[in-house]
Amino acid sequence: MQNHQAFIDAACAVIGHDHVLTSDLDMYAQDWRKKYFGRPLAVLRPASTAEVAALVKLCVEHAVAIVPQGGNTGICAGSVPDASGEQVVLNLARLNRLRSVDPANNTMTVEAGCILQTLQDTAESVDRLFPLSLGAEGSCQIGGNISTNAGGVQVLRYGNTRDLVLGLEVVLPSGEILDILRGLRKDNTGYDLKQLFIGAEGTLGIITAATLKLFPAPRACAVAFAALSSPAQAVKLLQHMRAELGERFTAFELMSDASIDLIRCHFPASPNPFTSPHSWYVLMEATDSGTDAALGALFEGALERVLEQGIIDDVALASSKAQAGELWMMRENVSEAQQIDSPNIKHDISLPISSIPAFIDEVVGALEKTYPGVRPIIYGHLGDGNLHFNIARPLAVDNAQWQDETHAVNTMVHDAVVRQRGSISAEHGIGQAKQEEMAHYKSEAELVVMRAIKRAIDPQLLMNPGKVLDMGSTS
Ligand SMILES: Cc1cc2nc3c(=O)[nH]c(=O)nc-3n(C[C@H](O)[C@H](O)[C@H](O)COP(=O)(O)OP(=O)(O)OC[C@H]3O[C@@H](n4cnc5c(N)ncnc54)[C@H](O)[C@@H]3O)c2cc1C
C-alpha cells in the first residue's frame, strides 16, 4: 500500500493531481459489453507523449502493470484491468491534438486520443476522405482503432486500419519513444516495425500518434437495400456488383431476417422498404468522383440485371442522402439492438467468401438440431468474408441457462471456422475474452513466435498483461 502511495505521488508529480484518478473509476474499469469488471490501482490521464513516456518509466520503476485505454468500446475487454487492484489504466483521451494535415501528401498526423469521427470531419474539411468507419466512431479513438486493427464498413474498398497507417509514434514498455512517424508510401529500410504495434491490443507499447492516409473525397454516393433468399445468392450478388462497379463498390453488408426483426423491435422507426418479409438482406454502397447521376445510372443498371437474373428478389434504392442515412443507421443499430435484447453468444469470424454459404448452412443446421428454436443473429461485412455470427437463446431457455452453453456453442462455431482455415477473430481482437480460444486454435509455432516478440519488447511483461497471450508467470 505504501509502495502504491509512493507511485501515485510520483504520478501526480508528472501529470498533476487532477489527472491521477483514484476514485469513481467504474467507467474505466468496465468493458463496453459489461462482462468484465476490473479494479484499477489508478487511472492516469497524460496529455503529451513526454508525459506518457515519463509515466511508463515510473511504472517500470515501481513494477506496476499498464492497461492502455482509448474510447473503451472494444468488444473483447482488452482495455480494462484485472481485479487485482495492482494495474493502472493509462487513458489516452487528453492526447488528442491534430498535429498536421498535408493534403498534397494525402496524410494527416494525429494523436492517439483523437475520436475517429473528429478525424473523418478533419479530412472532410480539407476535401479528403479518411475512410475508417464503424458503429462506435463517435467514441472510439484512433489509438484504439490502430491497436485493434479495426475493420468497419469500408474495408472492401480501402482495407483495414493496417492499410491506412503510414507511420507511428509509440512509447515502448521501457519508456523510450519510438518515432517512426513517417508519411511515406515506400520505405524498404529493414523490418516494417509499425506493423508490430498495429493490432497488438496495447501489449507491446502505447501508441501516442499516427500518420494516416487520406483519399480523394467522393463526390457521388449510391446506396441500396436488397432482399434475397440465401447467403449463396448474396455471394453471387457481390461478384456481379464488383464486376460491374469495380473499385467504386465500397460496402456490402449482409443481415439475416432475425437481425432485421431485432432492429425493428428495438428501433421501430427503422425503414421497412419491402411489403413482404425475406430471409436475407444486403446493404450496398458505391461511391465515385463523378456525378450522382452517372453513378446512379451505373448502380441502377447493375441492380436491374441482378433482379432480372433472379439473384435478388427485391431492391430499394435510396433516393436521397437522408434515406441512405436511415438505411445505414439500421445496419449500425444491430449491435445496440442485441445489447438491449437478451445476451447472446457472439462470434466475429472470417472465412474465404466462397465458403460462407456452406458454413452458414452447416453450423446453423447443427445449432438448430442441438438447440431447437435458437435464433442466429448473423450479419456483417460479407464483402470482407467477415460475419458477426451471434447466437441468441431459444425463447424457451432463460438467459442464465443460455450463458452456460457458451463454451459448447463457441466450440461448434469455432471448430467449423478452423476446419475451413478461417479466423475466430476477424476484427474485434483477442483481449481477455478470446485468449484461451486463441491458445487452443493457433498453432504452437505461431504462439512461440508471438511470445518471443512479446518478451523481446516487454521483458518485464508490464504492458497490458493478461491480454492476447498467456505469458504464464511474470517472474
Ligand atoms: C457499436 C459498436 C460497433 C463496432 N463496430 C466495429 C466494426 O465494425 N469493426 C471493428 O473493427 N470494431 C468494431 N467495434 C469495436 C471497437 O469499436 C473497435 O475495436 C475500436 O477500434 C476500439 O477503439 P477504442 O478507442 O474504443 O479502444 P479501446 O476499447 O479503449 O481499446 C481496445 C484495445 O486497444 C488498446 N489500446 C487503446 N488505445 C491504445 C493506444 N493508444 N496504444 C496502445 N493500445 C491501445 C487497449 O488496451 C485494448 O486492448 C465496434 C464497437 C461497438 C461498441
pLDDT tens digits for range 174-193: 999 999 999 999 999 999 99
Ligand 1 neighbours (beta carbon < 6 A): 32, 67-75, 78-79, 92, 112, 134-136, 140-141, 143-145, 147-148, 150-152, 201-202, 206-207, 335, 427-428, 431, 464, 467
Probe residue for ligand 1, chosen from 36, 91, 140 as the CB with the greatest number of ligand atoms within 8 Å: 140
Please state, in angstroms and rounded to a whole number, the distance separating the CA atoms of residues 55 and 111: 17
Cell of 39: 479494479
| Same domain flag for 137 and 203 | yes
Using one digit for the tens of pLDDT, what is the confidence trace for 338-370? 888 877 899 999 999 999 999 999 999 999 999
How far does residue 435's CA lie from ligand 1's centre (Å)?
16
Q: What is the pLDDT of residue 1?
A: 52
Please give the distance, rounded to the nearest whole angstrom, from the Cα atom of residue 135 to the centre of ligand 1.
11
- Ligand 1 atom nearest to 197, measured from its CA: 43
Ligand 1 atom nearest residue 202's Cα: 44
Ligand 1 atom with least separation from CA of 146: 21
- Atom of ligand 1 at shortest range from CA of 336: 1
Residue 32 lies in a domain: no
The whole-model pTM stands at 0.94
What's the chain's length in residues?
475
Does 371 share its domain with 334?
yes
Give dist(CA 10, CA 382) in Å, integer.
50
Among the ranges given (56-70, 221-235, 323-337, 407-421), the one the predictor scored with the smallest mean pLDDT: 323-337
How many angstroms separate the alpha carbon of residue 208 from the centre of ligand 1?
15
Expressed in angstroms and rounded, the spacing between residue 102 Cα and the centre of ligand 1 is 26
Question: How close is the Cα of 394 to the center of ligand 1, in Å?
Answer: 30
**Cβ atoms within 10 A of the Cβ of 366, count?**
14
The predicted structure's pLDDT at residue 33: 87
Residue 270: HSE in the Cβ half-sphere, 13 Å Cα cutoff = 21
Last residue of a domain, one of 216, 247, 282: 216
- Residue 248, pLDDT > 70, answer yes
* Residue 475 predicted with pLDDT over 70: no
CA of 75 to the centre of ligand 1 (A): 7
Residues 202 and 280 in one domain: no
Q: Is residue 11 part of a domain?
A: no
Domain boundary among the residues 376, 392, 419 is at: 419
Ligand 1 pocket test: pick from 73, 339, 430 the residue with the most ligand atoms within 8 Å of its Cβ: 73
Residue 275 lies inside a defined structural domain of this protein? yes
Q: Is the pLDDT of residue 413 over 60?
A: yes
Q: Does residue 143 lie in a domain region?
A: yes
Specify the CATH number for the domain of residue 185: 3.30.465.10
Nearest ligand 1 atom, CA 467: 49
- Reported as a single tens digit per residue, the pLDDT across 270-309 is 988 898 999 999 999 999 999 999 999 999 999 999 999 9
Residue 368 and residue 232 in one domain: yes
Q: Is residue 91 part of a domain?
A: no
Q: Are residues 265 and 198 in the same domain?
A: no
Structural domain boundaries enclosing 310:
220-419
Looking at the structure, do residues 172 and 247 belong to the same domain, yes or no?
no
Question: Taking 60 as the threshold, does the pLDDT of residue 100 lie above it?
Answer: yes
The pLDDT, as a whole number, for residue 473 is 53
Flag whether pLDDT at 474 surpasses 50: no
Q: 54 CA to middle of ligand 1, Å?
A: 25
Q: According to the model, what pLDDT value does residue 356 have?
A: 96
CATH of the domain at 397: 3.30.70.2190
Give the nearest ligand 1 atom to 67 CA: 47
Together in a domain, 246 and 164: no
Residue 372 lies in a domain: yes
Same domain? 251 vs 396: yes
pLDDT for 2 beyond 60: no
Mean pLDDT of 223-236: 97
To test the pocket of ligand 1, the residue of 32, 92, 147, 469 to mutate (highest count of ligand atoms within 8 Å of its CB) is 147
Is residue 134 one of the residues assigned to a domain?
Answer: yes
Q: Are residues 111 and 154 in the same domain?
A: yes
How many structural domains compose the chain?
2
C-alpha closest to that of 336 among 267, 251, 389? 267
**Cα 139 to ligand 1 centre (Å):** 9
φ, ψ of residue 455 in degrees (nearest 5)? -65, -35
CA of 109 to the centre of ligand 1 (A): 19
Block residue for cell numbers 442485441: 338
The Cα 67–Cα 69 span in angstroms is 6
Please report where in the chains the cell 474539411 appears, as a residue.
125
User: Do 256 and 365 belong together in one domain?
Assistant: yes
Residue 165's Cβ-side half-sphere holds a number of Cα atoms within 13 Å equal to 32
What are the φ and ψ backbone dihedral angles of 223, each rounded to 5 degrees? -130, 135
Q: How far is the CA of 40 from the centre of ligand 1 (A)?
A: 19
The answer on 259 and 161 residing in a single domain is no
Ligand 1: atom nearest CA of 95 is 41
- Joined grid coordinates for residue 146: 490502430
The C-alpha cell that represents 130 in the structure block: 479518411
Domain end call among 171, 197, 216: 216
pLDDT, averaged across the chain: 95
Please check whether residue 242 lies inside any domain of the structure: yes
Same domain membership, residue 224 and residue 210: no
Q: Can you tell me which atom of ligand 1 is nearest the CA of 145?
A: 21
